[in-house]
Amino acid sequence: MEFSKGFKWGVSTSAYQIEGAALEDGKGLSIWDMKCRQPGLVFENQTGEITCDHYHRYKEDVKIMKDLGIQVYRMSISWPRVLPQGVGEINPKGVDFYNRLIDELLKHNIEPFITMFHWDYPQKLYEKGGWLNPDSSNWFAEYVRVLMDNYSDRVKNWITLNEPQAFVRWGHYELNDASGIKPAFSETLLAAHNVLLSHGKAVQTVRQYSKQDAIVGYAPVGDLYVPYDEDVATDVEAAKKETFSIKPLTVFNSIWWMDPIFNGNYPEEGRKLYGEDMPEYSDEDMKIISSPIDYLGLNMYSAKHVSQDKDGNVIEMPREPGHFYTHMDSPTEPKVLYWGSKWFYDRYKKPIIITENGMPNMDCVSADGCVHDPQRIEFLRRYLTSLKKACKEGVDVRGYFQWSFMDNFEWSHGFSKRFGLVYVDYTTRQRIIKDSGYWYKDVIRTNGKIL
Ligand code: BGC
């Protein structure tokens, strides 16, 4: 069986992770530029200052995408490259870079899917309180307007935010990511609210100012669970319940970030649990947040597998010895693409796009000059087979973006984790297509038939 006609096969990246040119052509500083300057925060004090040097090598990269048959490319725009202060004056050279990149993609028949914000927050706005500032959603809307004015004649597909759970959790609560502040939980909920509001205002800005009918989505992540034994009804029930659960003192879950958008309110269970920590918000806020979007993007990598004990308590099951773990010590869990797509589709009735999925590995160049990565091929084969099962059962999945097109700067892990279909030598910046890249090309060519 093939995937549906029109199913989109893509790859994903983000600006800070691949572009480099961090201090060139008038770009403003982002919180990640700042974080990388603090000794000890990133693996071996590495930085994204040059990384893959995509800023200068984008033509070569687009050509590789073309050679691999990539149909859609999920990239992000660096907010401070376009607006160095976050708001106000526009940087023409920054705007021009993305114009050239978009044109290059279109010339090769590759459709851009643009993520407006993938973590590289403008330092100037961070100094004004970032997402905690009551104006933060207006700042974001101003930036989105600049994107509409400059790119929406050629770009139809927009993704507002990448993984708000991650940048709010680590950026605002648990301290080990770029913004480096540790506020009270009530402030984390406030930041989360402002982020949701920013999403809503972004959607409204796209609808109002896009020069063509736009397709808008959103790419959250979440704490995911799958049944330990898929044939045991109580395991399925337990995993579904946990996937839609809200836990104390953390916003790292799925529905806190989805119910407001699709159902117009925070989940009741969470409102009760968080009680006095909840921010004040108006009906108007919820209206903005729930501005209709066209699909739900899901970034899915791993999941916990759970069962139920005889008293009906959900229990996390241990992995069998020798389980296939990735280089980031997370267990591979292909079932997540099946259950995740299915449950979120059932709950929100919106088409699904897998906006990220992929595997960190210890890839290296062999004596024959090639990069052999059979583990990644096996990882992708298992996950895509599981996604195919969801499609076969009627879940409306419209596309899949592999993370990542090429090896890149993996945030706090620096360059120590390789996720790419294309290997990058960080000394020479040479690109080498890995075995998995050629394999993915065949998947695309056959629309998934070879799986
Ligand atoms: C992020 C990417 C990251 C990837 C692998 C996602 O959480 O969106 O930026 O590189 O996972 O860790």
The average pLDDT across 197-216 equals 98
CB atoms within 10 A of CB 370: 14
Q: Cα–Cα distance between 414 and 118 in angstroms, integer?
A: 16
Q: Cα–Cα distance between 129 and 86 in angstroms, integer?
A: 13
pLDDT, tens only, 214-273 = 999 999 998 999 999 999 999 999 999 999 999 998 899 999 999 999 999 999 999 999
The average pLDDT across 101-108 equals 99
The average pLDDT across 411-434 equals 98
Cβ proximity of 365 and 407 under 8 Å: no
Q: Pick the catalytic residue: 19, 163, 242, 410?
A: 163
Cβ proximity of 114 and 147 under 8 Å: yes
Query: What pLDDT shows up at residue 1?
Result: 81
Nearest by Cα to 437 from 65, 126, 144: 65
- Give the C-alpha distances (Å, rounded to integers) separating 387 from 71, 341, 381: 18, 8, 10
Query: What pLDDT shows up at residue 264?
Result: 98
Whether 277 has a pLDDT exceeding 80, the answer reads yes
Whether 173 has a pLDDT exceeding 60, the answer reads no
Whether 410 lines ligand 1, by a CB cut-off of 6 Å, is yes
pLDDT tier for residue 175 given thresholds of 50, 70 and 90:
very low
State the distance from the centre of ligand 1 to the C-alpha of 167, rounded, in angstroms. 11
pLDDT tier for residue 83 given thresholds of 50, 70 and 90:
very high
The average pLDDT across 406-431 equals 98
Concerning whether 320 is annotated as a catalytic residue, the answer is no
The average pLDDT across 377-393 equals 98
Quick one: 8-445 is in which CATH superfamily?
Answer: Glycosidases (3.20.20.80)
Mean pLDDT of the residues in the chain:
96
The average pLDDT across 16-30 equals 98
State the distance from the centre of ligand 1 to the C-alpha of 303, rounded, in angstroms. 15
Whether 7 has a pLDDT exceeding 90, the answer reads yes
Say whether pTM exceeds 0.85.
Answer: yes
Give exposure, 22-42, as e/b (b: 16+ Cβ within 10 Å).
Answer: beeeebbbbbbbbbbeeeeeb
Whether 120 lines ligand 1, by a CB cut-off of 6 Å, is no
pLDDT tier for residue 276 given thresholds of 50, 70 and 90:
very high
Query: What pLDDT shows up at residue 181?
Result: 58
CB atoms within 10 A of CB 360: 23
Between 252 and 432, name the one with better pLDDT. Answer: 432
Query: What pLDDT shows up at residue 428?
Result: 98
Q: Which three-class secondary structure state does DSSP give residue 146?
A: helix
Task: Tell me the backbone φ, ψ of residue 194, rounded to 5 degrees.
Answer: -65, -35
Q: Cα–Cα distance between 330 and 323 in angstroms, integer?
A: 10
Q: Pick the catalytic residue: 19, 104, 242, 356?
A: 356
Q: Which three-class secondary structure state does DSSP give residue 394?
A: coil
Domain boundaries of the chain, sorted by first residue: 8-445
DSSP state of 325: B
Whether 403 lines ligand 1, by a CB cut-off of 6 Å, is yes
Q: Which two structure tokens, joined as six digits, stand for 178?
A: 């770029």
The average pLDDT across 288-295 equals 98
Whether 446 has a pLDDT exceeding 70, the answer reads yes
Q: Cα–Cα distance between 385 and 417 in angstroms, integer?
A: 25
Between 291 and 35, name the one with better pLDDT. Answer: 291
State the distance from the centre of ligand 1 to the C-alpha of 354, rounded, in angstroms. 13
Nearest by Cα to 81 from 106, 118, 108: 118
Between 170 and 42, name the one with better pLDDT. Answer: 42
Whether 162 lines ligand 1, by a CB cut-off of 6 Å, is yes
State the distance from the centre of ligand 1 to the C-alpha of 421, rounded, in angstroms. 15
Cβ proximity of 261 and 289 under 8 Å: yes
pLDDT tier for residue 174 given thresholds of 50, 70 and 90:
low
Between 355 and 172, name the one with better pLDDT. Answer: 355
Nearest by Cα to 247 from 261, 267, 219: 267
The average pLDDT across 162-168 equals 94
Q: Cα–Cα distance between 207 and 202 in angstroms, integer?
A: 9
